[in-house]
Amino acid sequence: MIRVLGRPTVEVIIMNDWLGLHDFIFYRTRELCGWAFEGTFLESSSNDVAFFIHTLLTCLITFGGILISMFMILWIERKVYARVNDRRGATTALRSLWVGENGVTAGEWWNMIPYGLGKPVGAINGWLNRVAGNDGHEQEMVNRVGNRSWYGVAIFPGFFQNLADGMKFLIKEHMVPNRADKVIFELAPFLVISSTVMILGMIPLSSGIYGANPELSVLFAFAIFGIAPLGVFFAGWSSNNKYTLLGGIRSAAQLTAYEIPLLLSILGVCIMAGSFNFLEIVHFQHSSGAWLLFLMPLGAVLYLVSMIAEVERIPFDMPEAEAELVEGWWTEYGGMRFGLLFAAEYMRVYAASILFAHFFLGGWHSPFAGIVPGGPLIPGIIWTLLKAWLIFTVVFVWARTALPRIRTDQILEFGWRMLLPLSVLQVALAIIYRMYLFDASALDTSTSGGWSWDAGLFPWAVPVLTTAFWLAVFWVFMNDEDDTEDTERMYHVQTLTPAGTHTAGTE
């Protein structure tokens, strides 16, 4: 719904984020343009000019917010990854936040803040050093393993590392392979990058900060999401390299297989919320009283699994499997094109995390917004980003650190035989929930939220029971140990020549 055309009603204002930059800019630009063009020949079209300026500003703010905060997820990934890997090097450890970069109190960035404003940080640092270590043997280990001098700005150790990397990419030479299809080769990265940036324009950061808000924004965002695989395939084919060819074909197969469960799980969300609009889906979760994570945990898991495959991260990073395909479909790209492809990948990851926050974690609403009164005081954009960072850390980074990579045929089999039936089941469940367990009359758009999911039993009956059920299912599957494991291999593969039947050297 394009609500901006009329003044929002009182209820919507309460449910909305109070930091309503979108509406603020809209009305200020209108007033300013009306005042500036009064009496001139532009007077009749002052609203159009205002709309143009307003759209430009809001898009810039949204893009800027997402792109700048993207440093955060890059930083999180580096820190968490290093932490799990037990490395305590320069830009690698969470401890470097308080112990400085070399494991001692090098840096002491808090002393560089003017007027002694950083002194509390220094005090906390001293306390952390006392309770959390930095004693003798620890320091020895840090110096031994992580003896790297620190670089970057001293405000957030390692935070601007990616700016330095980007500068490095900028000054690298751009090379095109001799036998490549040059037009397609140049076109492909821009297809990937521009479509990725377009997704960001569709994603609201809160009810007050968004670039554009078409009625079917979910459909639009995921339609754009489907453009990038085409670019990937172009890149793989046009490089005229056997590794990129294999990577491109793998990517095409994988993205096709996982696009369907992804869209079906989102279809479940849209059925539940009764809308294809991001703002309305998030508002529905607030006004009906429960986040969709608790109503459709299966859908959330399906979304995450297929999203990891869509953004090609471990364990589903077959298209760029560096062990056998060097770098997969982007092997031949160098310089800033490689840098931008890399950035585009992280943009897609970030978009996936923010979308998860919107679809399943109530977007910009604080947890227990109806019960705990202080939550809404924090601007909604903070909640959105916090949730996205949490999802990124817990799901994307953790999976990357803990899991190996699946083989191509196993990925496809998993996608078609497991995820697809389950996502169809999830759509059916969503229809049943919406038709029989949903109480539309109990929707409440005020601050406290409604009680739509009690099913006549007790408040929150449906989400509580649903979550308990799926946790039980999960527990059963986790503890289902197969005793035949010792006598027979659990996993066999079908091969062209049955393995072990040939004699080496005779073929």
Which spans of this chain sit near another protein (rule: CB under 8 A)? Answer: 84-87, 144-145, 242-243, 246, 250, 314-315, 317-318, 321-326, 401-410, 486-493, 495-505, 507
The C-alpha atoms of residue 157 and residue 177 are separated, in whole angstroms, by 38
Closer residue to another protein (CB): 171 or 496: 496
Smallest gap from Cβ 400 to another protein, in A, equals: 8
Task: Specify the residue, 173 or 486, whose C-beta has the smaller distance to another protein.
Answer: 486
Residues written for the chain: 507
CA separation for the pair 387, 367 (Å, rounded) = 10
Whether the CB-CB separation of 350 and 66 falls below 8 Å is answered with: yes
Q: By the 8 A CB rule, do 14 and 376 touch?
A: no
In the Cβ-directed half-sphere of 209, how many Cα atoms lie within 13 Å?
Answer: 22
Return the CA Rg of the chain.
Answer: 26
Nearest to 309 by CA among 244, 225, 390: 225
Question: Judged by CB, which is closer to another protein: 22, or 250?
Answer: 250
Q: Shortest approach of another protein to residue 245 CB, angstroms? A: 9
Tokens of 267: 């279809």
DSSP states along 84-105: HTT---TTT-TTHHHH-TTSSS
Q: How far is the CB of 71 from another protein (least distance, A)?
A: 22
Closest distance between another protein and the C-beta of residue 317, in Å? 7
Closer residue to another protein (CB): 302 or 318? 318
Q: Could you identify the residue written with the tokens 């309305």?
A: 280
* DSSP codes joined into one string, 143-167: HHH------S-TTSTTTTHHHHHHH
Q: What amino acid occupies position 390?
A: L
Nearer to another protein, 135 or 140 (CB): 140
**Residue closer to another protein (CB basis): 39 or 488:** 488
By beta-carbon proximity to another protein, the closer residue of 117 and 496 is 496
From the CB of 166, what's the least distance to another protein, in Å?
Answer: 23
Of the candidates 473, 173, 95, 144, which has an alpha carbon nearest to the alpha carbon of residue 339? 173
CB closer to another protein, 253 vs 431: 253
Distance CA(455)–CA(464), nearest Å, equals: 11
Q: How far is the CB of 209 from another protein (least distance, A)?
A: 36
By three-state DSSP, how is residue 335 classified?
helix
Of the pair 25, 302, the CB lying nearest another protein is at: 302
Of 213, 218, 211, give the one whose Cα is nearest residue 355. 218
Least spacing, CB of residue 302 vs another protein, in Å: 18
Instruction: Return the number of the residue (84 or 428) whose C-beta is nearest another protein.
Output: 84
401-406, long-range: CB within 8 Å, 24+ apart, which pairs? 401/80, 401/81, 401/84, 401/85, 402/84, 403/314, 403/315, 404/314, 404/315, 405/314, 405/315, 405/316, 405/317, 405/318, 405/321, 405/323, 406/315, 406/316, 406/318
CB of 404 to another protein, least distance (A): 4
Q: Is 175 helix (H, G, I), strand (E, B) or coil?
A: coil
Task: Give the nearest distance from C-beta 419 to another protein in angstroms.
Answer: 15
Give me the least distance between CB of 78 and another protein, in Å please: 13
For another protein, the closer CB: 377 or 488: 488
Nearer to another protein, 28 or 405 (CB): 405
Dihedral sign, Cα of residue 408, residue 411, residue 413, residue 416: negative
CB of 332 to another protein, least distance (A): 15
What's the burial of 506, exposed, middle or buried (CB within 10 Å: 0-12/13-18/19+)?
A: exposed
Q: Is the Cβ–Cβ distance between 28 and 40 less than 8 Å? A: no
- 36 burial (CB, 10 Å; 0-12 / 13-18 / 19+) is middle
CB 325 within 8 A of CB 331: yes
At its nearest, how many Å lie between another protein and the CB of residue 210?
Answer: 37
Q: Where are the alpha helices (DSSP H) in 239-321?
A: 242-273, 278-288, 292-295, 297-310
- Give whichever of 6 and 498 is closer to another protein, judged by the CB atom: 498
Q: Shortest approach of another protein to residue 1 CB, angstroms?
A: 44
